[in-house]
Structure 1
Amino acid sequence: MIFRHLTFAALAAAASTGPSSVLAAAPHHATGTFEVKIVPATEDKGPDGGSTLSRLTLDKTYAGALTATSKGEMLAAGGSVPTSAAYVAVERITGTLDGRAGSFAVVQHGWMQGDQRVMDVMIVPDSGGGALKGLAGTFRIEIKDGKHFYVMDYTLDGQ
Structure 2
Amino acid sequence: MSLIARFAVTGVEPREVEGVDAAWVGAMTMYKTFAGGIAGTSVLLFVASGEVEGERSYFAAERITGSVDGGAEGSVTIHHGGLESSPESWFGHVVPHSGSGSFEGWAGTAKIEHDADGAYFVIDLS
TM-score under structure 2 length normalisation: 0.80
Cα distance, 1:116–1:65 mapped onto 2, change above 3 Å: closer
* Equivalence for 1:76: 48
Cα distance, 1:151–1:45 mapped onto 2, change above 3 Å: closer
* Equivalence for 1:90: 61
Q: How does 1:60-139 map to 2 (within 5 A)?
A: 60-78=32-50, 81=52, 83-98=54-69, 99-112=71-84, 115-117=85-87, 118-139=89-110
Aligned residues between the structures: 120
**Cα deviation digits, residues 111-151 of structure 1 (max 9, x gap):** 24xx4343211101110101111111221222112512222
CA RMSD of aligned residues (A): 2.1
Q: How far off is 1:83 after superposition?
A: 4.5
Cα distance, 1:45–1:127 mapped onto 2, change above 3 Å: closer
Choose between structure 1 and 2: higher helix proportion: 1
1:147 equivalenced with 2:124 (yes/no): no
User: Mind listing any 5+ residue stretches in structure 1 that lack a counterpart?
Assistant: 1-27, 47-51
Native 8 Å contact 2:47 2:60 kept in 1: yes
SS in 2 for 1:125: coil
Matches of 2:82 and 2:92 in 1, distance apart? Answer: 9
TM-score under structure 1 length normalisation: 0.65
**Identity level (%):** 33
Cα distance, 1:100–1:145 mapped onto 2, change above 3 Å: same
Q: Which is greater in Rg?
A: 1
The higher-RCO structure (CA 8 Å, 6+ apart) is 1
